Structure 1
């Protein structure tokens, strides 16, 4: 090895708490580097004549912590190769919440530099003692500079380190608010275990970024909870509830259901979601999407009981598919517009079918449309597939002519032929919708709502006049219908 870096932990307190071996190493080291001077031990070492070089200025030159840590690690490796050996001191324990040490351990062997890690008390020991926490109950240590809500488990003791300032605290607060209520009590600790500097304060979560004593030695402790309102926001709670409903101790009705018996529920819940979309009602949509999700969870639980698949298998398969079919987002592919993205999707989908042994060339070009779709939607998809291979009208004028032709045939048809001729007319109208780039299902739904609103106006007018439908006539209803158009 051309160089050596000895990493020493400065502990969580003062020089008196430092192990003797670490003290001697720092005291006798030819060149001591510290990540930051903002630690009680560094000040005491300098008072004893130890010369230290800090990297505090690096924080000012870079916009992200990742860039800071990479710069520090690169500088230390260069100095080690030049000097042969150096001592690098970090707060706490070198292997607890210390990204620079992890970078050194990863990159040093490639640069012919050895890294030796010495001990040091981490901030966790005095924290557990002060707050009387037993981590055996379940414990998570997270980095404030990269925290994500999915890392936070409300059932665990959670310690969030490196809450350097109010800006970082604000990011932590917003992340935690995705899991906990705004008033949830958290604890902010600064310089834990350092006599004279230690500050411990319990506050509601929404005040986290108002704490004045935040600094390099600050952390946030989030206690675990069994509050149902908090746990209800977790996916695993939903899974456990559905498991319980289907268990011998659960609901008799739920236990009796099968995939077939609740098949219609899936369709009904889907249409109820569509209704909330049409009504532009976010609150109702939230509730109805929950009802739809319940159907998925019930089917997943039934499949798990039979040993076929679990809800985790569903999620894993979906994640893999989304990544695989979006190479322009997650891979090396490219797509500059929606049409190119859709072409990528279709090409990869075809490759997947081929990999499963399906002979795509032997399949009908009309294959792949769910047979239980509403007839209007089914016709629309049939026509799109046929048009994709060139079986289509050249101009929209030809479509209008076809509609007129089918209309005449319907008028001239015998009663036994009328159903078929009406279907032909509707099919031609669907073609027109496709040429106009209008979803026929949505168009008809729009007209249904329009009819409902105008008919409701007629009912309203009847109520206002204390009459029933039997006490009015078509002429009066037509008058109100026309009035409804202008409302």
Structure 2
């Protein structure tokens, strides 16, 4: 039994004179000739020569997404070849350049018992390179305008965006490019490039991209490469390069001298500066401080890379893998209808991860897993919370108040040598009280610190108004202003 065959050929990027003779003969000899679209310069000439064709242009009107269009076209082709035994399918350009239907045919053909033969054809890339004087050795990327994402755009490369069929696709392309490039960055739209009498090439600012009126099946958008700092500054790859330079022999002497230990405290300080911007509800400051915190991560990663341990790419890969693994209700088969179920999934997977590392959770301390360098109040809070999970806790808040009172009296009666320990006991008891009240002691103390700072600043302001210094006032006057400040703040 003869195999069923779909022969795929490209109509090229120009008119009939530019079509390879072998392709022309295939089209002429085809008993069943199907076109993805008849919107191509060659088609009218083929029809004029008496070649019978059938196009799938009507399929575009029947679906809301290009993905559905391509799937439908492929299904129709398989249905036709089952009836005819063989057929020729012609697409614009080259069959293997920006042709999703061809990729779908190649993927599904073996499962359908259909052989997919790929003929030649000139892609739109060659005439575009020639027309715009682009040397591809400099590096270029070819992207799909119907499914463009910002992370695909590499500003340092020549970028060609194909399948920009109409103003709607052009609008999506424009908005995506604006995430990477300035709004006034110049881009070039080329329609029917290389086709005599039909070629239109127009360069416009990016914000005007979707205002042009010559988009069609033969339209491309060309984005030239740039080294503009405004663009480079937004690239994570440039940040990696900058940090590597700072640590290089020709870089900054201070940065070169640093070690994990020497900048250890900076990580904590930068974290608290971020928290301050959150408390102040200051997005601009938060943006800057998050950058400072990221710099610490970059420095530690660069140091580790220099020692051959890991790079920042490994950090990102580890994080991505963990996020996907710990969210099976998002990326896998599990479900979570609320945050409690999601947390249960998370805890279950964490337990599995520990087991995979050889950690026996049955013999591990219930207090394990708390970072030892947390601030003391926060550390105490987490210790108590973990202990409470296994029932080691007070039953009534009244008992907690009694414990605070007991520790307070013990501190009063403590000797000088005992005071530090007794003060710690009192603070630990107060943390327990905060937990029973549903409060975070670290946040509560931070609120009081801010309150004290504002009220003390009020006193300083009063002194400045009077043209006096602290040496020229007394506690009674300061206490009066403190009481005023309580009503002001």
Q: Do 1:400 and 1:432's aligned partners in 2 also have CA atoms closer than 8 Å?
A: yes
Partner in structure 1 of residue 233 of structure 2: 232
Equivalent in the alignment of 1:462: 463
Counterpart Cα distance in 1 of 2:419 and 2:61: 81
Superimposed CA distance per residue, residues 285-341 of structure 1 (whole angstroms, 9 cap, x where no aligned partner): 111111111111111111111111111111111111111111111111222222222
| Deviation for aligned residue 1:418 | 3.0
- Could you tell me how far apart the structure 2 residues matched to 1:37 and 1:433 are? 74
Q: What is aligned with 1:312?
A: 313
Q: 1:65 — aligned with what? A: 66
SS in structure 2 of the partner of residue 145 of structure 1: helix
TM-score by length of 1: 0.96
Inter-partner Cα distance in structure 1 for 2:171 and 2:164: 9
Tell me the residue number matched to 2:284.
Answer: 283
How far is 1:369 from its partner? 1.2
Segments of 5+ residues of structure 2 without an aligned counterpart are none
Range with greater deviation from structure 2 (462-471 or 206-215):
462-471
> What does 1:329-408 align with in structure 2 at a 5 Å threshold?
329-408=330-409
In the TM superposition, what is the alpha-carbon distance from 1:377 to its structure 2 partner? 0.5
3-state SS of the aligned residue for 2:73?
A: helix
Aligned to 1:91: 92
- Give the C-alpha shift of residue 68 in structure 1: 0.8
1:179-194 equivalent positions in 2, closer than 5 A: 179-194=180-195
Residue 2 of structure 1: CA displacement?
A: 4.6
Q: Deviation at 1:245?
A: 1.4
Match of 1:472 in 2: 473
Query: What do residues 344-393 of structure 1 show as CA deviations (whole Å, max 9, x unaligned)?
Result: 22221122122111222222111111111110010011011111111112
Q: TM-score, normalised by structure 2?
A: 0.96
Name the structure 1 match of 2:79.
78
Alignment map for 1:58-457 (pairs within 5 Å) = 58-457=59-458
User: Deviation at 1:134?
Assistant: 0.7
Could you list the per-position Cα deviations for residues 55-75 of structure 1 after superposition, in whole angstroms to 9, with x for gaps in the alignment?
A: 111111111111110110011
Partner residue of 1:6?
A: 7
- Count of residue pairs brought into register by the alignment: 487
C-alpha separation in 2, matches of 1:27 and 1:396 = 91
Indicate the RMSD between aligned Cα atoms, in angstroms.
1.6
| Unaligned stretches of 5+ residues in structure 1 | none
CA contact (8 A) 1:2 1:81 kept: no
Q: 2: CA distance between counterparts of 1:169 and 1:53?
A: 28
CA apart distance, 1:76:
0.2
Determine the structure 2 residue equivalent to 1:55: 56
SS of the residue 1:174 aligns to: helix
The 1-side partners of 2:409 and 2:336 are apart by: 46
